[in-house]
Amino acid sequence: MALLVKKFGGTSVGSINKIKNIAKNISKSKDAGHDIVIVVSAMGHSTDDLNNLAYSLSKNPPRRELDMLLSTGEQVTIALLSIALNEYGIPAISMTGSQVGIITESIHGKARILEIKTSRIEDHLAQGYVVVIAGFQGSSLSHNGSMEITTLGRGGSDTSAVALSTALGAETCEIYTDVPGVLTTDPRIVTNAKLLDAISCEEMLELASVGASVLHPRAVEIARNYGIKLYVKSSETDQQGTLLLSDIKPLKLSRGSLELTKTVNSLEILEKQVVFGLYELPDKPGIAAQIFEELSKAKINVDLIIQATREENSNDITFTIAEKFLEKTIEQCDLIISQIGGKYSITQNMTKLSIQGAGIMGRPSISAEFFDTLSKANINVRLIATSEIKVSCVINLKDIAKAIRFVGEKFKLCTNQIFINPISEKKDKPEVRGIALDKNQVQVSFRNLPDKPGVAASICLALAEANLIFDTIVQSERNSELNTKDISFTMNKEDRLNAENVLKMLIKKYPESRLEDGQAIAKVSAVGAGMAFKEGTAAKIFRALANENINIEMIATSEIRTSCIVLEKDCNNAVNAIHNYFKLNE
C-alpha cells in the first residue's frame, strides 16, 4: 500500500462531467488499497475570471484582497470533487491550504512554501478518507500574528502537489493535465514532436519555453531537491506520460525551508580551463559547424562556446576547454585558421564559475547581483554565458578563492552547495533531449566597452532595476589587444522599446562604446544532460543549421544547453532541422 498524490489541473476539472470522471477513476486506485491525496486547481479559467473581476474595479487591487479572491477558485473544486467522491461511495474530505497548515512566506501573490503540517491529513488518511486539498494556496502569519491567506503565483497548484508529496513522503506525485506529457519540442512547430518517457528535472527547467507551460518550474525544483518521482500525464487517456527524475542527491527536509527561499541553489567551479578566442572569421553559414567538427574529430571536448559580435563580414567565436586538451586544440586551431582565415589567441589559467537555481529563471536581477558581487571583489570577468537556470562566467584562476567567498556570502550558500570540479554521472544521458524556442526577441549589443571589473554588472543592474527582462547575456572580446569587450543580450521586442532610456543612459557612461540593435531574432536551444560528455554535440547542432543555410547570429552554451540565436524568419526551420538531425522523433 502506497501513498499517492494526484494533482488535477484546471482543464481536467473544467466541468461537472470531468469532476465525475475523476471521482470514478479514483475508485480504482482506492480499490488497490492506496492512500490518496488529491490536489486540484480552480475549474477551467475561473482564476482568470476572478482576476478580471478584481481588475474591473481597480487598476491596482490590494495584493491581500487578490489572494483572498483568487484562492476561492480552488475552494470550489475541492468541495465539488469531495461531493462527487462521496456520491461514488468513496469517503472523501476537502481541505483548504490553511486548514492543512501549508505555511508560506507572508508575500501575497507569489509566496513560497516554508512548511506543511501533515498531522491533519495523516489522521484523515488513517480513517480511510481520500483527502482533497486546494492547490495554489497557503497561509502565513501577519506581523501581528494573525493568519492570512496567501497564493503561490499563477500555475502554483503543481507546486502545492509536489510540496505535499515531499512533506508526506509520498511514493509518487502524478500531475494530470490536458497534454500527454512533456514533448521533445513544440508540436505546433514540429508536427512529429515525440512524447518523452523520462526527462531530468534540470533538463525540464532548461526547456522553459516548452516545459514551463506544462509544469510550474518551482514544482520541478522541489521534485529535484527532494527526489520526488514526478509523472506528468493526460487526464483523458491511460498513457504513462513523462517521468521527471531528480539528478542530484536528495536534500533532507529541514523545518521551515521546504521551498528553499534561495534563488541560487549552488555554485560550481571548474578549474584549469583554457580560453581560445578565434577572431575575424568569415560570417557565413557553416563556419561554426566546420570549426567544431574539426575539434570533435580530434576528440576535444569543448565546454563553453560563445559567439556574439560581428563586424562587417566577420565573426568571433570563443570557447573553453579543459587544460588536458591544450596541445591538441592548438594543433586543430592552426589547421582551422589555415583553412578559413582569421587568427586566434590562447589564455591559460582560467576558471569557470557558475551559479545555478530555478529561481534565476526570469529574474535578471540575479545575474546582475552575481556580476556586481564579482566587481566588488575587483574580479574581472572574461566571458559570460547564461541559460535559464544558470549564469556562468570565466575568470582568472588566481581570483577563485575570493570569488567563492564573495559569491557564497552574497547568495548565502553553505559549503554543501559549493562544488569544485564536480564529477557528474550523466554520461549515458542523451546529448539532446528536446528543443526550446523563444520567439519575438531582439539582440542588443554594447560594443567596445572598457575591459575592467564592474562593466557587465552596471549594465545588468541598470536593466534589472528598470524591471526589464533580458537573457542570453554573452560577453566576448573583439580583440584582446584593444582591451575592450562586447556585451550582447537578448530581450523581447516590447522590453526593447521600454529600454530606450536606460540604454541611452548607459551608453553615456561609456563614451568610447556604442550600442547596436540587431534584427528580429529567435533563440533556439537544444537541451540534453549528456551534451557535456560527448564531443561534437555542438558541431552537430551547427551542422544541422548550416545544412539549411541558416546563419547563426549568436551562440551561448551551458553544460546541458546550446542556444543559437537565429533570424526570426529562420526559427521554425531551425527547430525542425535540429529535431531531425538528432532523430528526436524516433
Degrees to nearest 5, angle at CA 271 with 269 and 273: 120
Nearer to Mg ion, 136 or 276 (CB): 136
Nearest residue to 308 via CA among 516, 89, 9: 516
Establish if 71 lies at the interface with ligand ASP (CB under 6 A): no
Q: Minimum CB separation from Mg ion for residue 258, in Å?
A: 20
Of 457, 517, 461, nearest to 491 (Cα)? 517
CB of 181 to ligand ASP, least distance (A): 17
97 counts as binding ligand ASP under rule CB under 6 A: no
Q: Pick from 139, 140, 157, 273 the residue near ligand ASP by CB under 6 A.
A: 157
Question: How many whole angstroms separate alpha carbon 203 and alpha carbon 242?
Answer: 13
Q: Closest separation between CB of residue 322 and ligand ASP, Å?
A: 43
CA angle 9, 195, 472 (to 5 degrees): 85
> Closest distance between ligand ASP and the C-beta of residue 135, in Å?
6
Helix (H) or strand (E) holding 385: strand 383-387
> Phi and psi for 201 in degrees, rounded to 5?
-60, -40
Minimum separation from the CB atom of position 40 to Mg ion (A): 11
Among 155, 181, 211, 342, binds Mg ion (CB under 5 A): 155
Q: Which is nearer to ligand ASP, 9 or 357 (CB)?
A: 9
Please tell me the distance from the alpha carbon of residue 176 to that of residue 237, in angstroms, as a whole number. Answer: 10
Is 63 an interacting residue with respect to ligand ASP (CB under 6 A)? no
Q: Assess 332 for contact with ligand ASP (CB under 6 A).
A: no
Binding-site size, Mg ion (CB under 5 A): 2
Cβ of residue 358: shortest distance to Mg ion, in angstroms?
A: 16
Nearer to Mg ion, 179 or 289 (CB): 179
Q: Which of residues 461-500 bind ligand ASP (CB under 6 A)?
A: none
Q: Which residue is nearest to Mg ion (CB)?
A: 155
Q: Which amino acid is at 376?
A: K
* Apex 537 CA angle, 356 and 275, nearest 5: 65
In the complex with ligand ASP, the residue whose CB is nearer, 76 or 400, is: 76
By CB under 6 A, what part of segment 29-48 binds ligand ASP?
41-42, 47
Q: How many alpha carbons lie under 13 Å from residue 481 in its C-beta half-sphere?
A: 4
Distance CA 305, CA 20 (A): 53
List the beta strands (DSSP E) in 120-226. 130-134, 137-141, 147-151, 172-177, 198-200
How far apart are the C-alpha atoms of 281 and 447, rounded to whole Å?
18
Closest CB to Mg ion among 215 and 394? 215
Task: State the binding string over 116-155 for ligand ASP (x if CB under 6 A, else -).
Answer: -------------------xx-----------------xx
Shortest Å distance, C-beta 41 to Mg ion: 7
**Residue 518 is which amino acid?**
G
Q: What is the 3-state secondary structure (H, E, C) of 544-583?
A: HHHHCCCCCCEEEEECCEEEEEEEHHHHHHHHHHHHHHCC
- Spacing of C-alpha 262 from chain mean position: 15
Q: Which x/- pattern, by CB under 5 A, does the window 5-34 give for Mg ion?
A: ----x-------------------------
Minimum separation from the CB atom of position 472 to ligand ASP (A): 27
Q: Does position 110 bind ligand ASP by CB under 6 A? A: no
Rule CB under 6 A: say whether 156 interacts with ligand ASP.
Answer: yes
- Pick what 359 binds: ligand ASP, Mg ion, none; C-beta below 5 to 8 Å, kind-dependent: none
Minimal distance in Å, beta carbon 73 to ligand ASP?
Answer: 5
Q: Which three cell numbers stand for residue 86?
A: 462521496
47, interface contact from Mg ion, ligand ASP, none, CB < 5-8 Å by kind: ligand ASP
Which string of DSSP letters, residue by residue, matches 279-322? Answer: EEEE-STTHHHHHHHHHHHTT--EEEEEEEEEETTEEEEEEEEE
User: Can you give the binding site for Mg ion, defined by CB under 5 A?
Assistant: 9, 155
User: Can you give the binding site for ligand ASP, defined by CB under 6 A?
Assistant: 9-10, 41-42, 47, 73, 135-136, 154-158
